[in-house]
Structure 1
Amino acid sequence: MQFSKNLEDNLEHLKQTLSLEKNFDVVYRVISIGGKKGCLLFVDGLTKDEVLLKVLQAWWSIKPEDMPTDAHGFSKKYMPYGEVGLIANEEDMIVQLLSGITAVLIDGYDKCLMLDCRTYPARSVGEPEKDKVLRGSRDGFVETLIFNTALIRRRIRDPKLIMEILSAGNSSHTDIAVCYMEGRVDEALLKNIRNRIKNLQVDALTMNQESLAEGIFPHKWYNPFPKFKFSERPDTAAACILEGNIVILVDNSPAAMVLPSSVFDIIEEADDYYFPPVTGTYLRLSRMMTAILCLLLTPTWLLGMMHADALPEWLAFTKLSDVTYVPLIFQLLILEFAIDGLRLAAINTPNMLTTPLSVIAGIVLGEYSVKSGWFNSETMLYMAFVTIANYSQSSFELGYALKFMRVILLLLTAVFDVWGYITGFVIAVCAIVFNKTIAGKSYIYPIIPFSWKELKKRFFRGRLPVIPESQNADVNR
């Protein structure tokens, strides 16, 4: 619906649409501007009051004979602020108003003036709890979109850095920022992602990036290995953009979604690059080995205990030292689910009780569960290692994917013995090999298709590439 030049008609329709008499936080104020009747609309709590005060002071000095004939002329002459826009459509105006932008309607003008002096309640840009580093910057993304884009822009001062703003959700109208480097990004993938977001038919992005991810990539939901890399670190997001990836930021979410992402991209961490090449390579390789052990340790040990008599002497220490009352497969499965239960309990436990409850849980579950005969000490040891090893991955999704594959491997090994172990291993490998990135490319590139040059970069942390002087001179020119 287009605005009319009659302020009373516009205001009467907005009162019904916005329920201005019921919504206490949607404030409207009728004022006089240069002898004309005007109306100021804003959402209380999302507007900078000091900016509005200064703008109103500037309007009070306008004389009737100085009033322009249209909204465009008024915005150029009497809007003493940087971010000002004009909107002729009421639906677009309502979306921006509910986003925190102040709307100004003036009698005789058929367009609404939008004054972007909004402010959002936000926490400080402190280091994220999950993506901590031993060395490096200590800032992280927050729930305010404009803060997150500023953190990336601060690190990439290049005019080729593009940040497109889109929205999704018929009710929420959630802002989505698509960030990429012009000239480095895959244009076909960018066009595909842009079209998918624009055509996304959802009522609201209630789960932020997860809702968006499920909307733009609904295929192969049964494969647990993640299709996206998530990070709460602006330095990681900036590095991914410079490598030609696309970073998607969603308002109200403190994480950046990086795509396309292979399994090697997801395994990488910021610490790999904040240390010298030798140390970074060691950290990367140790993380990969830990992931493999996390998947295979308990199924391999279970298979060995099923054939304990065939174990060589140098592996005799892995045999059970006590009598087994509960079959090993049930011990391992109970611990798999119990650990997740403890993790959920830790999340919901008040901070003041976390330490004493952890001590109690450690004593009860660690010592008395073994003494009571429910678990063997060897089972507790290997499951403790697997639990700690899961946290070596910065990606929750990858950690749970390894967990699901491990449980499948345990069940098949317990039922079908050696052939079950082999089948479970093949299923885990196929889940990785036949997975695809959102761009439709191999999930384990550069292994398939093979590229030795790229493979070395994935496994070994190299030195920072130096731009030749000739290219550097062209850039500076």
Structure 2
Amino acid sequence: MKTTQFKRAIPLKSLIKRKKGADVDTFSESKDESGAQQKSSIEAHVEKMNNTMGGTSDLIEREIIINTKPLIKGVAFFINGLVDNEQVSDFMLKSLLNDSFDLEEAKEFSNTTLEHLIEKQLLTVSEVKMETDWDKIIHHLLSGNTILFVDGINQAFIGSTEGGEWRSVEEPKAEVAIRGAKDAFIESVFTNMALIRRRIKSPKMQFEMFQLGNSSQTDVAIIYMNGITNAKLVQEVRRRINKIDVEHLLNSATIEEFIQDKTLTIFPTVYNTERPDTAANSLTEGKIVIIVDGSPFVLIVPVTFSQFFKSAEDYYQRYDISTLIRILRYISFTIAVLGPSLYIALITFHQDLIPTRLVISLAAQREGIPFPAFIEALIMETTFEILREAGVRMPRAIGQAVSIVGALVIGQAAVQAGIVSAAMVIVVAGTAIASFTTPAYNLAIAGRILRFAMMILAATMGLYGITIGLIALVAHLASLRSFGAPYLAPFAPFIPENHKDGLFRLPKKIFNK
């Protein structure tokens, strides 16, 4: 008698990229020389599992004798650290080992097969399904589920036992709100989905799951409101996600790079947030949220330029206060981009535009300075960027102190040494403080890059160079799209309805729908 074997194993590929009709590695039945079919033995299942996993030490193999009449041999596999041990013990193994069950009597009563009896009667875990596709079985195993093979059955039982250690839900670190909610996304895709579901208890909210990454097989979920979100937008998001072909997908930044409309731009065209309330609010506006397992930041598409100046705090304060603060953010971003360049242009080319007393004061400060204004600004801006990056990378207890003390000490020492003027230190410091008011970190980085470009234009052509730079900047922003949506909307094109929550935040009674 020949021992039943599996079909040849194929490499683990992305389930989402499997072509319809392609060969699928499944449990098979073999025929002996007489032509009689023999079901796969449990030894063949175990052998294939061990060969696929390569003898990894975190794979737990548990042989069991199922307490039925007659007794049946089984074996369970799970990954140590990815499963909830209590669920594996109480709802998978204990139910199979302790509960006595007469198979023949059950078959006569329910007129069903052995595998369905085990699924419906013996396994008490919350979710159980049967699977024959070997790639899917391995994916479920590596996702924290328990795989059960039963002798004489050509299917694997998959019990939902995901668990292990996860970081608990904590306060937002990057998007702090004084009056807003105090919970933030974590690295678990299912926990993040639940955080949004708690805020929107509507059957219109739909979840779709994907697995991306040929090796990582990372769970990715897209969320949208059925009937509110444009169907073409949903289809376009699916299409772009399906086109992603990478070996490893470990964070949401990878998806952001693949799905954005244009890569040759410093401006972000995909919004990311760590706040569930921001994601929920975007869903009600007809946008799509993308959650990646292992990343505490979710993606939101489409997005406009004005979205990056909005904060969750805006919707927890009165509309007049929120409007004032939002306008202040726009002004601060303008200062962060143009502050040093305007100073360079005025000092170098347009001294006649400065009041006489101020010109005299600035000239006295610059007496003895060996560098032109552009070199001064370049030295101070570069120094401050280095201090800012050092403060971020250093331990939190000393990082902030080092950045602040370093800026004060270096600035004062540079002025006393006659390398830079006191006015330049004030301009650079004010510019740096203004850049911190932008709620979106990635837009603030874009502003920092633009600052250096504007400084070069100001040093070469003065205010004319700044004007040319601004025209090119506006033209570039007008050319950007985020999943087909104009990046400068509702300003260009001008959409009056969307100005209820654009530059101004009008009362909620007005833009409630």
TM-score bracket, shorter-length normalisation: over 0.9
Kept in 2, the 8 Å contact 1:131–1:232? The answer is yes
Aligned to 1:118: 162
- Bigger Cα displacement from structure 2, 233-242 vs 346-355: 346-355
- The alpha-carbon deviation at position 83 of structure 1 amounts to 1.6
2:151 maps to amino acid: D
1:8 to 19, 43, 64: 43
Q: Is the 8 A contact 1:413 1:424 kept in 2?
A: no
User: For residue 62 of structure 1, what is the aligned residue in structure 2?
Assistant: 100
Normalising by structure 1, report the TM-score: 0.92
Partner of 1:30: 63
Q: Which position in structure 2 is the counterpart of 1:267?
A: 309
Moved more, 352-361 or 98-107: 352-361
Deviation at 1:63, TM superposition (A): 3.7
With over 3 angstroms needed to count, the CA separation of the structure-2 counterparts of 1:198 and 1:359, relative to structure 1, is closer
Aligned residues: 464
Question: In structure 1, how many angstroms separate the alpha carbons of the residues matched to 2:422 and 2:445?
Answer: 25
Relative to 1, partners in 2 of residues 1:250 and 1:452: Cα closer, same or farther, differing over 3 Å?
same
Root mean square deviation, CA, Å: 2.1
1:201-257 CA-to-partner distances (Å, cap 9, x unmatched) read 111124x1111011123x532211110111100000000001110010111111111
Q: Report if the CA contact (8 A) 1:37-1:107 is conserved.
A: yes
Q: Distance in 2 between matches of 1:339 and 1:28?
A: 56
Measured after TM superposition, the shift of residue 310 of structure 1 is 0.6
Corresponding residue of 1:47: 83
Is it true that 1:236 corresponds to 2:272 in the alignment?
no
Instruction: Report the alpha carbon displacement of residue 266 of structure 1 after superposing the two structures with TM.
Output: 1.8
Q: Residues 70 and 88 (structure 1 numbering): CA distance in 2 closer, same or farther, change over 3 Å? A: farther
- For 1:475, the equivalent position in structure 2 comes to none
Q: Where does residue 167 of structure 1 map in the other structure?
A: 211
Paired position in structure 1 for 2:351: 309
More divergent stretch after superposition (42-51 vs 356-365): 356-365
| Cα drift, residue 42 of structure 1 | 0.5
Amino acid aligned to 1:24: S
Structure of higher CA gyration radius? 2
Q: Which runs of 5+ in 2 are unaligned?
A: 1-24, 29-39, 108-112
Rounded Cα–Cα distance in structure 2 between residues aligned with 1:71 and 1:280:
61
Letter in 2 for 1:226: P
Aligned residues: percent identity? 28
Deviations 1:272-331 (A, max 9, x none): 111011111111111111111211221111111013531242782683423222222122
Q: Deviations over 1:109-133 (max 9, x none)?
A: 1111111111142222111111001
Is contact 1:140–1:234 with CA below 8 Å preserved after alignment? yes
Q: SS where residue 446 of structure 1 aligns?
A: coil
- Give the direction of change, closer, same or farther, for the CA distance of 1:347–1:173 in structure 2 (3 Å limit): same
- The within-5 A match list for 1:306-385 is 306-307=348-349, 309-313=351-355, 316=358, 319-320=362-363, 321-323=365-367, 324-354=369-399, 357-358=402-403, 360-385=405-430
Show structure 1 runs of 4+ deviating over 4 A. Answer: none
Q: Is 2:240 the partner of 1:216? A: no
Q: What is the rounded CA distance, in whole Å, between the counterparts of 1:466 and 1:419 in structure 2?
A: 42
> How far is the alpha carbon of 1:359 from its aligned partner?
5.5
Q: Report which stretch shifted further, 353-362 or 124-133.
A: 353-362
Q: Distance in 2 between matches of 1:257 and 1:407?
A: 29
- Structure 1 alignment gaps of length 5 or more: 472-477
Cα gap change, 1:306 to 1:138, in 2 (>3 Å): same
Output the amino acid matched with 1:224: I
Distance 1:424 1:259 in 2: 28
1:99 aligns with 2:143: yes
Task: After TM superposition, list the pairs within 5 Å mapping 1:130-279 onto structure 2.
Answer: 130-206=174-250, 208-217=251-260, 219-279=261-321
Task: State the alpha-carbon separation in 2 of the partners of residues 314 and 233 from structure 1.
Answer: 50
Q: Is the 8 A contact 1:36 1:64 kept in 2?
A: no
For residue 319 of structure 1, give the secondary structure of its aligned residue in structure 2: helix
- Out of 303-312 and 282-291, give the one that drifted further: 303-312
